[in-house]
């Protein structure tokens, strides 16, 4: 009877590896194939935008492997770790370099900001040549920027301030019924740059339709624009990893990916977990990119140093 008992135990003992191994492989598949997850009620957007954090799922898998004494489960953890490293590890290396020709800062000011003028002063302290503002609901921040920058374009709740000459400023229709995007030509010392400033439709759990429609309109405007040097900045209400951003990235390049160090999260400001604030470009090159907390807003500012491509 003891022999039969041992024979019965062996298969069950082998099965203890299955849960942790499968869980590890599922985490790897989720990371690598996140855009294949159905996007019902905004689930895909949430997954895409917060994707780097889903790598933390290896922690409960590791605990499961430890609880079941599964050596194969521990080995299988290398698979999602490798996938995460391939996808996001390069962001922590050295990028960019070279001499910048101008600096751009984009900041969602936050309509509920208790001290918008102070936020504007902190932005000015970053010494940008171009400043893009979203959720500009009152004038104290604008007055601070007006004092520093000679050229301004304001459309609805977005604005562009520049130390370079700005011409042909006009709204870009996102289909919202009010203006949250603009387009202007900036004559930098190194050549003309077409600049878009946009604040796409808001997104809530299960309510991503407005954001998607505004993104589609913006992408159409950018694709139709033949300007050789184009810069798109603002709060796009989604990360560049979002499947919906494939209409913009490419053909545009993400400055944070090209020249930043780290993932460049900007929201929420107190503990950033994703990056809805973007600096995207075509016909330019990024020499550096970073994030700065200007205070008062629920977003941090996205900063990029750029040069006009030869």
Q: How confident is the model at residue 111 (pLDDT cuts 50, 70, 90)?
A: very high
Q: What is the pLDDT of residues 36-61, one digit of tens each?
A: 998 877 788 889 999 999 999 999 99
| pLDDT given for residue 43 in this prediction | 84
37: helix, strand or coil: coil
Angle, to 10 degrees, between the axis of helix 78-88 and the axis of helix 58-67?
Answer: 170
Cβ–Cβ < 8 Å for 141, 116 = yes
Residue 115's pLDDT is what?
Answer: 95
pLDDT of residue 4: 52
Per-residue pLDDT, 177: 85
Is pLDDT above 50 for 142? yes
Mean pLDDT of 251-277: 96
| pLDDT at residue 241 is higher than 80 | yes
Least confident window among 48-52, 79-83, 95-99, 280-284: 95-99
Computed over every residue of the chain, the mean pLDDT equals 92
Which runs of E-coded beta strand occur in the chain?
102-108, 130-134, 151-155, 158-162, 165-171, 181-188, 191-199, 230-235, 253-254, 277-282, 284-292, 301-308
Q: Is the pLDDT reported for residue 11 higher than 50?
A: no
Provide the percentage of residues in the chain whose pLDDT is more than 90: 80
CA 199 – CA 211 distance, rounded (Å): 10
Instruction: With cut-offs at 50, 70 and 90, classify the pLDDT of residue 207.
Output: low
Choose from 166-180, 184-198, 206-220 the range with maximum mean pLDDT.
Answer: 184-198
What is the average per-residue pLDDT within 123-145? 95
What pLDDT score does 8 carry? 47
> Residue 14 — very low, low, confident or very high, per pLDDT cuts 50/70/90?
low
Bridge partner residues of 166 (DSSP): 186
The pLDDT assigned to 202 comes to 83
pLDDT at 297: 97
Q: 133 falls in which pLDDT band (50, 70, 90)?
A: very high
Cβ atoms of 300 and 275 within 8 Å: the answer is no
> 98 or 127: whose pLDDT is higher?
127
> Quick one: average pLDDT of 284-291?
97
């Amino acid at each position: 009877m003891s022999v039969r008992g041992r024979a019965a135990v062996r298969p069950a003992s082998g099965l203890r590896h299955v849960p942790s191994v499968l869980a590890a492989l599922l985490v790897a598949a989720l990371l690598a194939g996140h855009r294949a997850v159905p996007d019902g009620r905004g689930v895909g957007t949430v997954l895409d935008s917060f994707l780097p954090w889903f790598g933390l799922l290896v922690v409960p898998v590791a605990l499961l492997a430890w609880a079941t004494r599964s050596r194969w489960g521990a080995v299988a953890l290398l698979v999602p770790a490798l996938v995460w490293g391939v996808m996001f590890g390069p962001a922590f290396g050295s990028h960019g370099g070279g001499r910048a020709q101008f600096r751009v800062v984009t900041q969602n000011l936050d309509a509920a900001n208790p001290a918008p003028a102070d936020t504007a002063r902190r932005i000015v302290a970053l010494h940008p040549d171009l400043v893009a503002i979203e959720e500009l609901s009152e004038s104290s921040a604008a007055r601070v920027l007006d004092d520093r920058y000679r050229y301004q374009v304001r459309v609805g709740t977005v604005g562009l301030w520049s130390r370079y000459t700005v011409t042909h400023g006009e709204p870009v229709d996102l289909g919202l019924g009010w203006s949250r995007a603009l387009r202007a030509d900036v004559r930098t010392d190194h050549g003309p740059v077409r600049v878009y400033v946009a604040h796409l439709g808001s997104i809530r759990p299960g309510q991503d339709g407005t954001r998607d429609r505004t993104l589609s309109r913006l992408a159409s405007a950018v694709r139709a624009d033949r300007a050789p040097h184009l810069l798109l900045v603002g709060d796009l209400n989604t990360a560049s990893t979002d499947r919906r951003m494939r209409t913009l990235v490419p053909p545009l390049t993400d400055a944070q990916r090209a020249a930043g160090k780290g993932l460049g999260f900007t929201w929420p400001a107190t503990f950033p977990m994703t990056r809805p604030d973007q600096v995207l470009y075509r016909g330019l090159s990024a020499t550096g990119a970073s994030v700065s907390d200007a205070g008062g807003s629920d977003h941090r500012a996205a900063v990029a140093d750029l040069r006009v491509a030869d």
